[in-house]
Amino acid sequence: MQKGGFNFDLYQRNVELIEKNNYKVPKTTKTGTTIVGVVFSDGVVLGADTRATSGPIVADPNCEKIHKISDYIWCAGAGTAADTENTTGMISLQLELLSLSTGRSPRVRTALTLLKNFLFRYHGYISAALVLGGVDFTGPHLHMIHPHGSTSTLPYISMGSGSLAAMAVLETGYNSKMGEEDAKSLVHQAILSGILNDLGSGGNVDLCVIKHKSMEFFRNVDTTNSKRKFRKKLPYMFKSGSTKILEKEIEEKMRKMEIVNEKESQIEELEEL
């Protein structure tokens, strides 16, 4: 069947179809995003918004952008949604196998090296910008990874289209002696700033607090953006029978297709896979 890895079989056909006929390249789901990470005295707080866009349309108003690499190592991703999901999934697999074979709990630095080597091999074509944070036996760590494979280690990081808005809040509010509550509220404010000021970010706020041997995931902490204030009170009602039907066929679950009346067999059968 299929081997692992990327399959380039259709590449030539797509070049002919798109470039020679002047079609536009189709748009993939991107996470415009604001993602933020902050180190505090005991651990790391990661935050993200929840909007996934496809061009100017919101494809998913409530997606999850904080992915699990290992129990106490989590990663928030910006860029092409399929790339961030599959990259973090692949590295999470490799890290699990590595920790099982070495018999040690995984380090954040290992995940960092695996991610940057993987992304560098594809020279930026895998568009995944990541904020990797976690606590291992050496302490709390926070790293940023760019799509081309460069990394930085910093006490506070923001990435994505809303990174400028979030960084403004972080620069104002960060101090190196913060406690957990201060860090959580700072990350919350930074993501909110991205949601309000950046068009590519929106939805709710997700938070992830990682400390030594403990992890708490707060999904949809702030949902003030999700309530539709001006929804019509009485919903639209369609009476039964308001849609005109040309043909009708009922396929009941346990019966085989042969046991069918002669009248019903004239109707086209549902194409079965």
Give the active site residues. Answer: 33
Based on the shown chain and the rule CB under 8 A, indicate whether residue 1 belongs to the binding site for other proteins. Answer: yes
Backbone angles phi, psi at 244, to 5 degrees: -80, 135
Stretch that binds other proteins, among 168-176, 178-186, 195-203, 229-237 (CB under 8 A): 229-237
Q: Which of 20, 177, 233, 253 binds other proteins (CB under 8 A)?
A: 253
Based on the shown chain and the rule CB under 8 A, indicate whether residue 8 belongs to the binding site for other proteins. Answer: yes
Q: E strands of 49-103, at which residues?
A: 52-54, 57-60, 66-70, 73-80
Q: Are strands 35-39 and 156-159 parallel, antiparallel or unpaired?
A: antiparallel
CB of 64 to other proteins, least distance (A): 10
Q: Which of 138, 250, 259, 263 binds other proteins (CB under 8 A)?
A: 250
Based on the shown chain and the rule CB under 8 A, indicate whether residue 11 belongs to the binding site for other proteins. Answer: yes
Are 76 and 64 contacting, i.e. CB atoms less than 8 angstroms apart?
no
DSSP helix/strand/coil, 170? helix
DSSP class of residue 232 equals -
Backbone angles phi, psi at 34, to 5 degrees: -125, 120
| 101/272 with CB nearer other proteins | 272
64, two tokens: 């999850």
Residues that bind other proteins (CB under 8 A): 1-2, 5-14, 17-18, 22-24, 26, 28-29, 52, 54, 57, 59-60, 62-63, 80-83, 85-86, 125-126, 232, 235-236, 238-240, 242-253, 270-273
